[in-house]
A = this chain, B = another copy of it.
């Protein structure tokens, strides 16, 4: 057995980031090794990004139904019928689809706002497909810094908006100090307690 089953938002997000890094390593740094492992002469193979940070190209799980959603089967059979670049992109797209299935398998007991928070954390990272195809750098995090004004103390703060929940109109922001705060836009904006600077 591997690590314990992730249950909290932080644990599930962490599991995602580690599996994503493992898959990225297979498809970028270790691309040659990955390519060679996907021999079309072998049985059905899958690319796994493991929760310990390693990747393997392996046969699917022996037991069915498996403990976890499985990655797409038989990527090796497609290898020699496509341009290498296209095949790598296909493996990347299937890797992203698999990461999402694992993420929401673990988050099955979350409600809609929990799912929204988890997704907004995950969506800060470029997809495996974006990295493998060179569209977005591997480490880019799509957080935008915003100046935030608190009239109470007359000061501006630079915050990162991590997520906004459209149902509750609550935003999760992070100050430059690293401190997190949940802001209720419904309250703070009309009352003038907070202003977000227009770009």
Which positions in A face B, CB cutoff 8 Å? Answer: 44, 60, 64-66, 69-70, 72-75, 77-78, 90, 93-94, 96-98, 100-105, 108, 111-112, 115-116, 119-120, 123-124, 126-127, 129-130, 142-144, 146, 161-167, 169, 171, 185-187, 189-191, 195-199
With known contacts A108-B129, A163-B166, A190-B198, A44–B64 Cβ distance under 8 A: yes
B69, A72: Cβ atoms closer than 8 Å: yes
A65, B93: Cβ atoms closer than 8 Å: no
Bound-complex Cα distance A69 to B108 (A): 19
With known contacts A65-B74, A164-B164, A166-B171, A195–B199 Cβ distance under 8 A: no
Q: Which residue of B lies closest to A196 (CB)?
A: B186
With known contacts A101-B101, A161-B169, A93–B64 Cβ distance under 8 A: no
B101, A77: Cβ atoms closer than 8 Å: no
A93, B75: Cβ atoms closer than 8 Å: no
B69, A64: Cβ atoms closer than 8 Å: no
Bound-complex Cα distance A112 to B64 (A): 34
With known contacts A123-B119, A144-B167, A69–B98 Cβ distance under 8 A: yes
B96, A104: Cβ atoms closer than 8 Å: yes
Bound-complex Cα distance A97 to B99 (A): 10
